[in-house]
Structure 1
Amino acid sequence: MTTPNHLVIVCGHGIYLGGPQNGHDESEWLIEPYKKGETPTFMAHIKAGADVVNSDPRSVLVFSGAATRPETHLSEAKSYCNLALDNNYFPPTLVGSRVLLEERALDSYFNILFSLILYWRQHPSNHWPERITVVSHEFKRTRLVDGHCAAVGFPLDRVTFLGINPPSLKAEDQASNQLTLGQWEQDPHGASLDLLAKRQKRNIWGVSQALFLDKNEATKAGLEGQIRTSKDGSQTLLDYKGCIRPWAT
C-alpha cells in the first residue's frame, strides 16, 4: 500500500437513514428544519470527498460527525459512508483502510481535531498527514480554515478547502454563521461554557469527548501538556505561545 500523506475531512451535517432513493429523497434523511432543501448539498460534499480519495492514492478520507439524534444511534459519519456506498462513490474495499469513520465530533472544531487524531491512530507508523483537505459549506471556509485549522496549529499553506454551498443559501444563514464565527474568535478551542453547552446538548448518546485513550497515548502523540480537560471530562487543546503541534513539524 502507498504510504498516505493526505487527510480528507468531510464534515457531517445530517443523518442519512437509507432508502430506495439512495439519499436523493429528503425523507430518507434526519435533518433540522432549517436545513430543509440542503440534502443535495450534503451529497455533493460526500461526492467531493470521494472524488479526492479516488484520484489521490495517498489520501485517506474521513467522514466526521457523531450520532446527534435521539431517533437513532447512527452517526453522521457512518450515514455519510453508507450513502457513498449506496451510490457507488468509491469501492467498498476502501472502507476501513482509506475511508475512515470519525464518530465523536459534535462541532466543526472537533471535525478537524478528532479527524487528525483518528488518522494518526490508524496508521502503523503513527505519523501525521502532510496536508489536509476539508469539505464543507463555502460560507464556513473562514471558520474552518482561519479559525479551527489555525487554532489547532495545522500550517494553513498545507490546507485545501472545498466549499459547496446550498443553492438556496440566504443572507441570514451567512449572518448566523458570522455570529458563531465571532464566538470561535473569542474562544478558538471551544472551551467556553457556551460552546461546551452546545456540544453537551448534541451529545445525545454520551460519546466520549476525550482526545486520547489515556495519558500514555497523548504522550506518544506528542501532545502531553497541551490538553485542557473540562469538568465533564471533555478535552480541547490548550493555546499558548511557543506551542508547536506535532503535525506542524
Structure 2
Amino acid sequence: MNNYPFGSNSPKSFNAYPRGDFDIESGTIRRTKKSRNSSFFLVRMIKSLANRLHYCYKLHPFLVFFVSLAFGVTILIVLSLYEHRYRMLRNYGKLDDGFGNYYPYAKLKNLVMVAGHSVYTSSTCGKVDKEDSWFLESYQKNPGQAATFLRHIKEGVENSARDDAALLLFSGGETRKDAGPRSEAQSYWTVAESKGWFGKEESVKWRALTEEHARDSFENLLFSVCRFRELTGTYPQNITVVSYDFKEERFANLHRSAIGFPESRFFYTGTPASSTSKEGALKGEASVRAQFQQDPYGCIGTLKKKKVGRDPFHRSIPYPNGCPEIEGLFRYCGTAPYQGTLPWA
C-alpha cells in the first residue's frame, strides 16, 4: 500500500475553499490584499511625473523652460533670504555668548546721543560759553549760540546720570576745515570735562565716549548706533537724542523711521535755539527736513554734496565693520524705507 503525503503537491490534496479567509457566519471569503511596496510605488510616481513633464516639454518647450527657470530663480531667492536671515540672527545671538568680557561696556543697554554742531577751537577752556571759542558758520554767528552747545552737553550728561544703564555718546566728525583736524564729538567731551561733568563726574565720565565720523544728523544717529554696538557688543534697547527742539521732527520721525527703530523706545530731548537765531533756524530746518523727506538716507543730491563738503580731511569711515548685522542698512540708498532685517525690529 502506498502512503501519499497530504501536502500541497500530493495527488490527494485539494483546496476545499478558495484561498483567503473564510467567514463562517456570512459564508463569504475575504480576500487578503497584498501590501504595496512603498519605495516601488514612489519610483513609479516619479517616473510618471517625469514622463508627463517630458510630454509637456515636447508640446510647449518654451513655456516649460520659462516656468522651470522662474521656479528655480524663486527657490534661489528664498534660500538666499533665509540664509542671510539665519546668518545675521546667528551672529546677533552670539553677541553675548561668551564674548561679554571683550566689550568694555557690555553691561550698558541704552544710548544717549548728543548731536554735535560745532568745533571748539580755543586753546583754553575758560570761555566755553563765548562764541569766539567755537568755529561758527555764518548762520551760527549769533549772540548766545555757544550757550546752546553747552546746554546740549549738560542735557546729555544729566540724561545719562538718570539712567545707570546708559552709554553717553557725543557724535560729530571733523567737519570744519578751518577748525583743523578736531572733531565736534571730542570738542563736546572736552567741554564736559572742563565743567567737571556738571557735578556728575563719578557717575557719568566713565561711560561717556565719542563717535567721531558723523557728517550730518542722519549719520549722528546711525553711526552712534553702530558705535554703541562696538562698545557693548549689542544694540541699544532705548535711544535718547539730545539736540535743538526744532529738530525733533527730523530725528524722531524721519531718521528714526529710516533706520526702522521702534517709536516706543525712542526719546528726544530738545533745547531752544538762541533768541536771535530762532527765525533763521526754523527756516533752515524746514528746508533740510524737506530734503530728507525726499532723500531719507542722505545719499543723493544736495545732502550727499553737503556730506562730502563736511569731510575736508578725507577721513575713512570704519562703519559698518563694528556692526556687521546692519551692513545692509549702511549700504542702502533709496527713497523707500529699508526692507532688510534689523536686530531691533
Decide: shared fold, TM above 0.5: yes
Give the alignment of 1:73-152 within 5 angstroms: 73-89=181-197, 90-91=200-201, 95=205, 97-123=206-232, 126-152=233-259
Q: CA separation in 2, counterparts of 1:29 and 1:241?
A: 37
Equivalence map 1:2-41=2 (5 Å): 3-18=107-122, 19-36=124-141, 37=143, 38-41=145-148
User: Cα gap change, 1:84/1:242 in structure 2, threshold over 3 Å: closer, same or farther?
Assistant: same
Q: Distance in 2 between matches of 1:111 and 1:227?
A: 13
Query: How much does 1:176 deviate?
Result: 1.7
Asked whether the 8 Å contact 1:226–1:238 carries over to 2, the reply is no
CA RMSD of aligned residues (A): 2.3
Q: Cα gap change, 1:33/1:238 in structure 2, threshold over 3 Å: closer, same or farther? A: closer
- Give the corresponding residue for 1:171: 279
Higher share of residues assigned helix: 2
- Residues of 2 paired with 1:134 and 1:93: CA distance? 19
Equivalents in 2 of 1:45, 1:244: separation in Å? 33
Shift of residue 171, structure 1, vs aligned partner: 2.5
- For 1:76 and 1:92, the matched residues in 2 are separated by 23
Q: Which residue identity lines up with residue 88 of structure 1 in the other structure? A: G
More RCO (CA 8 Å, sep 6+): 1
In 2, Cα distance between the equivalents of 1:55 and 1:162?
13
TM score, norm. by length of structure 1: 0.86
- Residue 242 to residue 66, structure 1, CA distance change in 2 (3 Å): closer
Q: Distance in 1 between matches of 2:328 and 2:176?
A: 34
Aligned AA (1:6): N
Instruction: Flag the 1:110–1:60 CA change in 2: closer, same or farther, 3 A.
Output: same
Retained in 1: the 8 A contact 2:296–2:334? no
Larger Rg: 2
Bigger shift: 64-73 or 7-16? 64-73
Measured after TM superposition, the shift of residue 17 of structure 1 is 2.5
Per-residue CA deviations over 1:75-131 (Å, capped at 9, x if unaligned) read 000000000000111427855x511110000000000000000000112xx211100
Is 1:65 aligned with 2:162?
Answer: no
For the Cα contact (< 8 Å) 2:320–2:326, is it kept in 1?
no
Structure 1 unaligned spans of 5+: 230-235
Structure 2 stretches lacking a partner, 5+ long: 1-104
In structure 2, the residue corresponding to 1:178 is in which secondary structure? helix
1:224/1:52 Cα in 2 relative to 1: closer, same or farther (>3 Å)? Answer: closer
Look up the match of 1:222: 325
TM-score where L is the length of structure 2: 0.63
| CA distance in structure 2 between the partners assigned to 1:22 and 1:32 by the alignment | 19
CA distance in 2, matches of 1:226, 1:114: 11
- 1:233 aligns with none
Alpha-carbon distance between aligned partners in 2 of 1:204 and 1:2, rounded to the nearest angstrom: 34
CA distance in 2, matches of 1:94, 1:237: 38
Contact 1:85–1:92 at 8 Å: present in 2 too?
no
The superposition leaves residues 140-170 of structure 1 with CA deviations (integer Å, 9 ceiling, x where unpaired) of 0001110101111111111111001123143
Aligned length: 234
Identity %: 32
Residue 47 of structure 1: aligned partner: 154
- SS at structure 1 position matched to 2:344: helix
CA distance in 1, matches of 2:177, 2:339: 42
Q: Structure 1: which 4+ aligned runs deviate by more than 6 Å?
A: none
Supply the distance in 1 between the matched residues of 2:242 and 2:298 (Cα, whole angstroms). 21
